[in-house]
A and B are shown apart, each in its own frame.
Chain A
């Protein structure tokens, strides 16, 4: 009688399996946190000036050593990853959702990505990110044609005192800093190119399917995506834009599928946790395109509403016009922030619950608490994953819908209605 498949048992088994995996990962996570934390504490411990001078000192020390070992290592001379430091969830999370120059699969396994740098006065440098040396998540360095390149592990200040962000590459030659323009194929750029290439392949073959079978019921991939294409057309574009919807359809479709696929890629586990649409560099481009398309297509009614809002008393116009002008930029900016924040937030929550395991596990000292938390966290993460699947679609929908509404505002002709 009890032989039939029980979803509850299957769920329990999955929970145990995942919490086991999470505990295994704990060791790695702890090791990561160790390095990061030593950096973090160092920056926190000293006032700005002190941190500055110490950074200089560290840099000099690293140069003196003649080889490029991890800064934190050189400074603290840990040698081994001791289990004496506290795990800092914030640093751990930010590091994992920020863009990177390689794809971190698990443990020390990284997929290197091309680094393309334009260094002022030195020209373009092209090499793989595996050239950077240094283990864990500390600063990594690379010697190239007499130039020392430093890939910063965390936000802070560089050797020359300028502020740097996690993942930023700075260059120096004989202790004088060089200006670096980083055009690397980073994790987000790589993921984005992957998605865009997949989109070109998919939608070209779908278009081929329609050309080959005119007027027939769709099959396969065309059948899978036709409802979404029609959804964008009939639920987003037409109600928001109206007659001129056709003009904006290619952009709306491309944006919708790009965001949707990027969001979905970010949810694939064991793929390095892509956070493409949570990378502000990507969303700023999408928002800029929305801004340009809105304002380049703006008709006289659109501009009229901004610079001479009808139906309001003159004094109100003085308040309203600046607000309207500000909103020209604010609307796409909000699109950008909403998308980035939502997708990053999803990743942050999942990582936060992963971190809870390490925190409750007390850096491997309290396996029981860690396992208990692992069970709870895993259950919650499964819930979060389902929520994120919804969010992945929802954010693509919201971005596309609001873009369509802005296009509609810009092209709406009240004389027609």
Chain B
């Protein structure tokens, strides 16, 4: 058992030298670069993941804002259409009113003109009738009074007709 429990001088010396040399060589040329590379890669992966998450969130926000914009646009469109419809209705109403007023004016003017024309026509008719009456009377008188008998008859008839009694 002694061989198992006694550290041999040579083994200790070689182990110390070899292990320390390897430790320093590996620390300088292997572990340093390897651990640095691992850290770097892990950081870049973590960074990429964070970036992806950020982009995803941004996309979400963008989608949400798109949705909002769409909603606003729809509302705007609805509003505009409603306004347009109202305006059109108003226009139609206005046009109708204007037309009616114009028509009414025309009608009134026409009525006035007609009334004036009628008056004129009636006046003319009156004078025409008067003239005609006079002419007729004239002729009648001329014809009837050409004989004495007729004159006497007429005078009699007129006397009869006159409300003297």
Q: Which residues of B contact A229 (CB under 8 A)?
A: 34-35, 38
Residues of B within 8 A of A192 (CB): 14-15, 18-19
> Could you tell me if B44 and A215 are in contact, using CB atoms closer than 8 angstroms?
yes
Q: How far is the CA of A245 from the CA of B115 in the complex (A)?
A: 119
Is A176 part of the binding interface, using a Cβ–Cβ cutoff of 8 Å?
no
Write out the residue numbers on chain A whose beta carbons fall within 8 Å of the beta carbon of B125: none
A196-230 contacts to B, CB under 8 A, are 196, 199-200, 203-204, 206-207, 210-211, 214-216, 226, 229-230
A interface size (C-beta, 8 A): 57
Cβ < 8 Å to B, chain A residues 342-380: 344
Among the 9-residue stretches B22-30, B128-136, B147-155, the one with 4 or more Cβ atoms under 8 Å from chain A is B22-30
Q: Which of A27-35, A80-88, A180-188 contacts B (4 or more CB under 8 A)?
A: A180-188
Among the stretches B5-13, B67-75, B100-108, the one at the interface with A is B5-13
A62 beta carbon closer than 8 Å to chain B: no
- Which of A13-21, A277-285, A399-407 contacts the other chain? A277-285
Q: Which of the residues A116, A254, A281, A282 comes within 8 Å of B31, measured between beta carbons?
A: A254
B3 at the A interface (CB under 8 A): yes
Residues of B within 8 A of A196 (CB): 18-19, 21-22
* Docked-complex contact A203 and B3, CB < 8 angstroms: no
The answer to whether A98 and B16 touch (CB under 8 A), given A116-B10, A199-B26, A250-B32, is: no
Of the residues A99, A206, A249, A340, contact of B8 by C-beta under 8 Å: A99
| Chain B: interface size category | 35 or more
Number of CB contacts from chain A to chain B under 8 A: 146
Instruction: Judge if A193 is at the interface, Cβ distance under 8 Å.
Output: yes
Alpha-carbon distance between A288 and B31 when the two chains are bound, in angstroms: 22
Query: Is A155 an interface position by the 8 A CB rule?
Result: yes
Residues of chain A within 8 A of B3, CB atoms compared: 94, 98-99, 155, 165-168
Q: Is the CB of B10 within 8 A of A183?
A: yes
Residues A210 and B37 in contact in the complex (CB < 8 Å), given A163-B2, A344-B4: yes
Q: Mark A253-267, 1 if CB is under 8 A from B, else 0.
A: 110001000000000
B1: interface (CB < 8 Å): yes
- The residues of A that contact B30 with a CB separation of less than 8 Å are 200, 203-204, 206-207
Min CB gap B5→A, angstroms: 6
Q: Are B10 and A254 within 8 A (Cβ)?
A: no
In this assembly, does B41 line the interface, its C-beta being within 8 Å of a C-beta of chain A? yes
Asked if residues B4 and A94 are in contact (CB atoms below 8 Å), the reply is yes
User: Bound state CA distance, A97 and B5, in angstroms?
Assistant: 12
Nearest Cβ on chain B to A220's Cβ, whole angstroms: 14
- For residue B129, give the distance in angstroms from its CB to the closest CB of chain A: 123
Q: Give the docked Cα–Cα distance between A168 and B19 (Å).
A: 23
| Inter-subunit contact A181/B5 (CB<8 Å) | no
User: Is A393 among interface residues, defined by CB-CB distance under 8 A?
Assistant: no
CB contact under 8 A between A186 and B19, given known A97-B4, A250-B31, A280-B6: no
The CA-CA distance from A289 to B12 in the complex, in Å, is 12
A residues near B37, Cβ cutoff 8 Å: 207, 210-211, 214
Q: Is B40 an interface residue (CB 8 A)?
A: yes
State the Cβ distance, B27 to closest chain A Cβ, in Å.
4
Task: Knowing A182-B10, A281-B7 are in contact, say whether A246-B18 is a contact too (CB < 8 A).
Answer: no
* A251: Cβ under 8 A from any B Cβ: yes
Q: Are A279 and B11 in contact (CB under 8 A)?
A: yes
Asked if A412 is at the interface (CB within 8 A of a chain B CB), the reply is: no
Task: Check A286 for interface membership: any CB of B closer than 8 A.
Answer: yes
A233 within 8 Å of B (CB atoms):
yes
Residues in chain B near residue A184, CB distance under 8 A: 10
A241 within 8 A of B: no
A185 touches which of B7, B14, B31 (Cβ 8 Å): B14
Give Cα A373 to B19, complex, Å. Answer: 42
A251 touches B23 (CB 8 A): yes
Known: A206-B34, A214-B40. A281 touches B22 (CB 8 A): no
15 more contacts with CB within 8 A, not counting A116-B10, A254-B27, are: A98-B3, A155-B3, A164-B2, A181-B9, A189-B18, A192-B19, A196-B18, A196-B21, A207-B31, A207-B32, A214-B37, A278-B4, A279-B11, A281-B10, A285-B19
Q: Which 5 A-B pairs have the closest CB atoms?
A: A281-B11, A210-B37, A250-B27, A203-B30, A165-B2
Q: Can you give 16 A-B contacts (C-beta < 8 A)? A: A99-B8, A116-B10, A155-B1, A182-B10, A189-B15, A192-B14, A193-B18, A196-B18, A200-B26, A207-B30, A207-B37, A210-B38, A253-B26, A254-B27, A254-B31, A258-B22
